[in-house]
Structure 1
């Protein structure tokens, strides 16, 4: 996550919840900061670690981490849900495709690699569900003189062999594969 995005999230949480504002306790000692509570919550959510694991890294106990996760999740849904946690519409999908086309990857909806977490998230993705069911918005593009009408995800070998996944080329065998691997930004040693 970009630092600027993390700061934006922390500031929004602080501004909309007293729980995330750092305060002094009855003994006059400063409590946990929004940065600590949100970092703990994000680690639990992103990595699926138990709440008591954050004590070692962030010096926050299990109870505080658990409460931070609950409050953080509710607050993120309230603050960002209507904009970022909704199913993408046709305009969103086209905008995403246009951005990736400018990056030299026409038709790409996203890039997935190395984690089973991506597969779990992907299975819950409204965008992917529409794409898998052939309901995604039409987006015409051409790659190597082949015309396509539906987007794809750039993925590695753990993903199923579906038309919506274009796999990374690990060990290019000819000039065409080498060119494709280079366009993917992958080297044969990298994966």
Structure 2
């Protein structure tokens, strides 16, 4: 995982069968998510929202909770039946990660799994975050801009924050920098 090499590349070194190594990688990934989901994969609560608003207000972006963007992840083993749907703008199949990150690179929203044939606007339109915004299901946020009071935050500005978060994610975890190698789309979530 750390080096982004195919898991079956080390099967001889570990004296394990290829399928056993792949199963261990899957179990490890699922275990990591289960252990850290509550701390790192959560939406901001009211206290977090207040901190994010204050941080971004000091930067000149009152009402902004984070920067939103999408990243296309190359999917080497995309099933043939899905190639057309997942064919991105660049060569090959891609799967999309939509994320919202703050200045400190905390990714507090991640929406993963949309096909690479979609552009960022299409992904955002399908995003559960946008559904929460439309339904008013986010923590209450109030800010003043140009003398007018607003009761919700805007989410797209200072895009460099989320771009930097993507860069750090790819630098820290080579498995994300290279192409996805699992066949099962659900397993790519982990």
Q: What interval of TM-score do these two structures reach, taking the shorter chain for normalisation?
A: 0.3 to 0.5
The structure number with the bigger radius of gyration is: 1
More helix per residue: 1
**Quick one: higher RCO (CA 8 Å, sep 6+), 1 or 2?**
2
More strand per residue: 2
TM-score by length of 1: 0.42
TM-score by length of 2: 0.42
